Amino acid sequence: MSRLDIKNGLVEMAHGSGGRASAALIDGLFTRHLDNALLRQGDDATLFEVSAGRMVISTDAHVVSPLFFPGGDIGSLSVHGTINDVAMSGAKPLYLSASFILEEGFSLAELEKIVISMAEASRLAGVPVVTGDTKVVESGKGDGVFISTTGIGVLAEGIRVSGDRAEAGDAIIVSGYIGDHGIAILSSRQGLEFDTQIQSDSAALHGLVADMVQAVPDIHCLRDPTRGGLATTLNELCKQSGVGMRIHETDISVRAEVKGACELLGLDPLYIANEGKLACICPKASAAKLISVMQAHPLGREAAVIGEVVADESRLVVMQTTFGGQRVVDWLAGEQLPRIC
């Protein structure tokens, strides 16, 4: 078997060929760090027992530039992102799969850092990676590393969380400070570099969700405001449920640094990505209970009600600004890019 020089080696086309080099990469790097009983089966498909009831599945492709950013990297992000997508159905995530597309010439040492970070995220979350795959593309045809992960989970009896269940009168809750992830990424992006203490909020939210659905099984909607930010998530929910929303800027938590970066770059925190926050729609009567449960969890300490669902044929999200005016909070158009004017 060919030796794997992690310290100085680079990804080569042979690592994706299915031959000895592939086996060396898988054994020496992937299974070594991601090790668990199911992965050790070593077959093309991993076998596990299923319980009775309902299951959920979600998949997510992860591309991020830069690969390493304050508060995380593509490895931890690919675990958190998919766990969160599964959790947003109210389910308990069980297993993950991971597929890697590596670019020829990428440093094996960096790859190992990414895999170690992935392994640690999955161990902390208690959701193992049980199957995986690796392919290599020629130099110049990838951006270092792309990681796709799929997660499956089980849904407890009586839980029905869905984006189409928001009703007029419901409360809108957000679990904490918004915009941290997007600003952390921007701060380390070439050409924009600025120094900040802001770290990505990348985190697995299934523990928080478990507490929430246990306390209030009748949660109507859960969604993690990733790309497009909170504004886009709320608009998605309005569209799916056929309702409008009225939110209050004063109740939405944004760190001073995130506000500062947004003023500097001409961005709006409502449209900046999060990777460890959730928005929740629940019956108004349950909101107080839910807030106290969330605040008791480390990832929901700043949870707050930010507004209410209203009947609105035009399905608009309207925000009462701190200034005292009202404005429509629309879908994100195009990409959120820094602007000069």
Q: Which residues bind other proteins (CB under 8 A)?
A: 187, 191-198, 255-257, 259-261, 263-266, 312-314, 316, 318, 321-328, 330, 333-334, 337-341
Between residues 65 and 292, which has the closer beta carbon with respect to other proteins? 65
Task: Specify the length of the chain in residues.
Answer: 341
CB of 258 to other proteins, least distance (A): 9
Angle (CA) 300 91 290, round 5°: 35
Q: What type of residue sits at position 92?
A: K
CB of 267 to other proteins, least distance (A): 10
Between residues 59 and 320, which has the closer beta carbon with respect to other proteins? 320
Between residues 157 and 195, which has the closer beta carbon with respect to other proteins? 195
DSSP label at 45? S
Cα end-to-end span (Å), the chain: 58
Q: What type of residue sits at position 20?
A: R
Between residues 5 and 330, which has the closer beta carbon with respect to other proteins? 330
CB of 233 to other proteins, least distance (A): 17
Task: List Cβ neighbours of 324 (8 Å cut-off, separation of 6 or more).
Answer: none
For residues 274 and 183, what is the distance between their CA atoms, to the nearest angstrom? 9
CB of 206 to other proteins, least distance (A): 31
CB of 170 to other proteins, least distance (A): 18
Between residues 8 and 197, which has the closer beta carbon with respect to other proteins? 197
Between residues 133 and 257, which has the closer beta carbon with respect to other proteins? 257
Side by side, the strands of the sheet bearing 54-62 are: 54-62, 145-155, 92-103, 129-137
For residues 10 and 195, what is the distance between their CA atoms, to the nearest angstrom? 31
Between residues 50 and 337, which has the closer beta carbon with respect to other proteins? 337
CB of 101 to other proteins, least distance (A): 20
For residues 54 and 115, what is the distance between their CA atoms, to the nearest angstrom? 31
CB of 273 to other proteins, least distance (A): 17
For residues 227 and 230, what is the distance between their CA atoms, to the nearest angstrom? 9
Encoded tokens for 96: 């993950």
Encoded tokens for 139: 């130099």
Nearest one of 26, 262, 253 to 129, comparing CA atoms: 26
For residues 6 and 307, what is the distance between their CA atoms, to the nearest angstrom? 51
> In terms of DSSP H, where are the helices of 216-250?
229-241
For residues 195 and 257, what is the distance between their CA atoms, to the nearest angstrom? 10
Between residues 136 and 183, which has the closer beta carbon with respect to other proteins? 183
CB of 313 to other proteins, least distance (A): 7
DSSP label at 144? S
